[in-house]
Amino acid sequence: MASEKLREWPNWLRLFIIPLTVGLIVAFVEFLLPRISEIVGPRQPVVTITYPSDGAPVEIREMIQGTSERIPEGQLLWIIVYSQMAGRYYPQNDVGAVQANGDWSSLAVIGIEEDVGRKFDIVAVLAGKEAQDAFNAYLAQSKDQKKWLGLERLPNGVAIYDRITVTRK
C-alpha cells in the first residue's frame, strides 16, 4: 500500500526521498555518537599487566609491562609489589611510563636477595593526587632512612586494575 502511494509521487520527489532519509540518519548518528558516553556514562579505565605472566618465576629486577586505555587526567599508573610473606605493599620508584598507544613499562624490584622462592603480587594501580603524594612521601622517607618497610595498606585514592602473583628466582 505504501509502495503504491510512493509510485504516485513524481520521479524527482522519489529520487529526493532516499538521499534525504540517508542524510537524516547520518546526521543523527554523527550527533548521537559523540554523546553516547554522556548518555551511558564514561567508559572505565583499563590497565592490564602483560609481562610477566601470572605464576611466572621472576628475577629480583623485572621490567613490568602492560597496556592501558582511558587513564583519567590527574591519575598516574603505579606498580606496587606486595610481599605475601611480609603482608606489605612496596610502591616502586619507576612510575609506569604510558606511551601514546597505551603500552607502558615500569622497572620493579621484587624483594631482596634472600627472597628466592617466595611469592609476590605485582599490582597495577591508578593513583589520584592523594595517593601519589602518599607514595612519594613513602619513597622519600625510605630513601632518607635507607629502610624500605613497605606500607600496611594502600592509601586512599588508589584503584587496583590488575594483580598477578609471581615467584622469585
| C-alpha closest to that of 78 among 7, 165, 159 | 159
What is the reported pLDDT for 11?
Answer: 66
What average pLDDT does this structure show over 93-107? Answer: 91
| Cα separation, 143 vs 137, whole angstroms | 10
What digits encode the pLDDT tens for the residues 107-149? 999 999 999 999 999 999 999 999 999 999 999 999 999 999 9
What is the residue extent of each domain of the chain? 2-40, 46-168
Considering only CA atoms, give the Rg of the chain. 26
What is the reported pLDDT for 86?
Answer: 97
For domain 46-168, the CATH class is: mainly beta
Burial of 28-54, coded b for 16+ CB within 10 Å and e otherwise, reads: eeeeeeeeeeeeeeeeeeebebeebee
What is the reported pLDDT for 56?
Answer: 98
Residue 37 has pLDDT above 60, yes or no: no
What is the reported pLDDT for 116?
Answer: 98
Residue 47 has pLDDT above 80, yes or no: yes
What digits encode the pLDDT tens for the residues 52-93? 999 999 999 999 999 999 999 999 999 999 999 999 999 999
- Bigger pLDDT: 36 vs 46: 46
CB atoms within 10 A of CB 65: 15
